[in-house]
Chains A and B, each alone.
Chain A
Amino acid sequence: MSEQKETIITVKNLVKKFGNFRANDNLSFEVFKGEIFGFLGANGAGKTTAIKILCGLWAPTSGDINVAGFDIYTQTEQIKRNIGYMSQKFSLYEDITVFENIRLFGGIYGLSRREIAQRATDLMRRLDLEHSRDKLISSLPLGWRQKLAFSVAILHKPKLVFLDEPTGGVDPVTRRKFWDQIYEAADRGITVFVTTHYMDEAEYCDRVSIMVDGRIADIDTPSALKEKYRVKNMNEVFLKIARILPDQNN
């Protein structure tokens, strides 16, 4: 399915060193427009480092990287304007209201007052939050906050949204509901780049890459990976890869 697709992220030979430690060791991969790309790996495998580089937060040590059509070294400002971001911690302010949060982030991304009002109404209707417009975020249940945080992250209609472990610490039902939202966003043409260490979530992605010790161990669709390693689910794929790679190093 990937041949005729347009790429939105191109990474060639990305290296990020911290002293002598290679957090990202020669990564090369592509993400295609409109897909849900899963970026998997154990904690400390280098996922967060890579995502920070792709978002323009950190400069890479070397490598050619293009995000949403812009160069990571010279055009970080344009990149920032065209991406959305939601981190594993909540990205909304708890002590201000639902609408104030929407207004704040809309404003930061340069939306006009009318656009903000319109999209806020839309969004609150879609999430069934109309009655909570003036409630503080801290008064909302966790699941609602997360949905809202995601909607706010894509309020400015970015081409691409980065989700850094968006479902960390949430129960399976809420997680499943959150993924419905991710599908909706993908349907609207937003490319989703998501990191997770829940292997059941890997099944929901169009393609996944699996990182081990700073390198990409494998990258393909979940079904192709399962076939390749002759296992039933992604969890086993992950375990196999994690076991094989250190052996190759020795």
Chain B
Amino acid sequence: MKRFWGFVLKEFLHIFRDTRTMLILFGMPIVQILLFGYVITNELKDIKIAILDQSKDPVTIELTNKIISSGFFILDRNIKNMKEVEDVFKEGNVRQVIIFESGFGRKLNREGIASIQLIADASDANTANLVVHYTMAIIGDFVREQNKLTGSPIQFIPEVRMLYNNELKGVYMFIPGIMAMILILVSAMMTSISIVREKELGTMETLLVSPLRPAQIILGKVTPYIALSFINAVTIIIMGNLVFGMPVQGSIILLLAESILYILLGLSLGILISTITKTQQNAMFISLFALMLPTILLSGFIYPIENMPKVLQWLSLFMPPRWFITIIKNIMLKGTGLMYVWKETLILIVMTSLFLGLSIRKFKIRLE
């Protein structure tokens, strides 16, 4: 045991003395979150909208002015009837059409209730979602102001329709996605590189000739990355919460346990990669191409799985991040317990044991 910890200590020394490794380990998660968070999802400025006002009364005019003067939206045009809605979207500039029902102000005065329809072009899902949320916020604000003025409660019923992409993937998608990507990258890529480095330097031989058992060597190489990946997971959860308001509705313990399971999966993948590669560069390329791209493209992180061709949907079944994203989205957003994600958890466990088994076999063959 003492032998083992001395070896783990050395592994930590390697990591802490290498600025590049430290940057990848701790800089990357933070940069990624901020990048995805701000650049990709939150930029909303001068979005073109069209308005179909079937009522044209003081209330709709005031609300229209409020929406346009918010700075987020530009009125591209006023349209006359429902038929034009489709044309407007097909031209491609307008992202949202706001429709006031006829007699809007009258209904509001008489019944205290009126309907607005928001139709968004959801071919760009994230933007569509944001556009709608912003519009609703402005309408909500307007309702509150009106209530203060009149004293009698009024109510708008916004009806939202997402065109072209009903299965809207929300803004909260990116934090589980980033977590899935970074954890697998750190645990698989970093471990495979660090194991292969020992092979390249020839120190692996020295270690194999020593009384350390092969399993101890691998475990020793992997232990620091378990710790560091875990710190990464916690950082991402905290940053997601503080900076972007990503909630954790469910059990935090379950969330962390699932993260550890996923980290172990990444590590076993990393070990497998290290058994089939001879140079650090190879290990890095395999990790990047086999892990990062599929994580981004096939896990449902950015592109909804439901919209993929059947073949890719099948392929995505073999992507560990897909299952992990489903699990943590459920825990974080819906607050579900293990009861609802046990299937996905089981899949991750099976994958982990498969990768571990394969790498043990590979490792033994190499030693023969």
B3 at the interface (CB under 8 A from A): yes
CA distance A100 to B205 in the complex (A): 19
Let me know if A56 and B209 touch, CB within 8 A.
yes
B212 at the interface (CB under 8 A from A): yes
| CB-defined contacts of B208 to chain A, threshold 8 Å | 57
B144 at the interface (CB under 8 A from A): no
| CB-defined contacts of A83 to chain B, threshold 8 Å | 209
CA distance A96 to B203 in the complex (A): 13
| CB-defined contacts of A162 to chain B, threshold 8 Å | 209
A87 at the interface (CB under 8 A from B): yes
Let me know if B2 and A110 touch, CB within 8 A.
yes
Let me know if A108 and B6 touch, CB within 8 A.
yes
CA distance A168 to B13 in the complex (A): 28
Chain B 198-223, CB within 8 Å of chain A: the 1/0 string? 00011101111111100000000000
| CB-defined contacts of A92 to chain B, threshold 8 Å | 203
| CB-defined contacts of B202 to chain A, threshold 8 Å | 87-91
Let me know if A107 and B211 touch, CB within 8 A.
no
Let me know if B206 and A85 touch, CB within 8 A.
yes
Let me know if B203 and A108 touch, CB within 8 A.
no
CA distance A87 to B202 in the complex (A): 7
CA distance A90 to B200 in the complex (A): 11
Let me know if A108 and B209 touch, CB within 8 A.
no
Contacts A58-B368, A95-B14; A107 near B201 (Cβ below 8 A): no
B90 at the interface (CB under 8 A from A): no
| Contact among A56, A57, A87, A93 for B14, CB-based, below 8 A | A93
B363 at the interface (CB under 8 A from A): no
CA distance A91 to B210 in the complex (A): 12
Contacts A58-B367, A77-B211, A95-B14; A104 near B7 (Cβ below 8 A): yes
User: What's the minimum C-beta distance from B302 to chain A, rounded to whole angstroms?
Assistant: 37
State which residues 177-214 of B face A: CB under 8 Å: 201-203, 205-212
Q: How large is the interface on B (under 10, 10 to 19, 20 to 34, 35 or more residues)?
A: 20 to 34
| CB-defined contacts of B211 to chain A, threshold 8 Å | 77, 80-81, 108-110
B10 at the interface (CB under 8 A from A): yes
Chain A 13-37, CB within 8 Å of chain B: the 1/0 string? 0000000000000000000000000
B18 at the interface (CB under 8 A from A): yes
Let me know if B6 and A103 touch, CB within 8 A.
yes
Let me know if B205 and A108 touch, CB within 8 A.
no
B17 at the interface (CB under 8 A from A): yes
A170 at the interface (CB under 8 A from B): no
Let me know if B18 and A95 touch, CB within 8 A.
yes
CA distance A80 to B217 in the complex (A): 15
A123 at the interface (CB under 8 A from B): no
Contacts A91-B202, A93-B14, A95-B18; A107 near B367 (Cβ below 8 A): no
| CB-defined contacts of B17 to chain A, threshold 8 Å | 95-96, 136
User: What's the minimum C-beta distance from B335 to chain A, rounded to whole angstroms?
Assistant: 45
Let me know if B205 and A57 touch, CB within 8 A.
yes
State which residues 1-48 of B face A: CB under 8 Å: 2-3, 5-7, 9-10, 13-14, 17-18
| CB-defined contacts of B13 to chain A, threshold 8 Å | 95-96, 100
Let me know if B203 and A93 touch, CB within 8 A.
yes
User: What's the minimum C-beta distance from B216 to chain A, rounded to whole angstroms?
Assistant: 9
State which residues 102-152 of A face B: CB under 8 Å: 103-105, 107-110, 136
Chain B 215-259, CB within 8 Å of chain A: the 1/0 string? 000000000000000000000000000000000000000000000
A186 at the interface (CB under 8 A from B): no
User: What's the minimum C-beta distance from A38 to chain B, rounded to whole angstroms?
Assistant: 20
| CB-defined contacts of A108 to chain B, threshold 8 Å | 3, 6-7, 207, 210-212
A55 at the interface (CB under 8 A from B): yes
CA distance A84 to B14 in the complex (A): 24
Closest chain A residue to B205, Cβ basis? A87
Chain A 161-202, CB within 8 Å of chain B: the 1/0 string? 010000000000000000000000000000000000000000
A59 at the interface (CB under 8 A from B): yes
Contacts A80-B211, A108-B212; A100 near B10 (Cβ below 8 A): yes
| CB-defined contacts of A95 to chain B, threshold 8 Å | 13-14, 17-18
| CB-defined contacts of A59 to chain B, threshold 8 Å | 368
CA distance A91 to B368 in the complex (A): 22
Partner-A contacts on B (CB < 8 A): 2-3, 5-7, 9-10, 13-14, 17-18, 201-203, 205-212, 367-368
Residue pairs across A and B with Cβ atoms less than 8 A apart, 7 shown, are: A85-B210, A90-B201, A104-B6, A104-B7, A104-B9, A109-B3, A110-B2
Closest 9 interchain pairs by CB? A89-B202, A107-B6, A85-B209, A91-B206, A55-B209, A104-B10, A80-B211, A81-B211, A108-B210
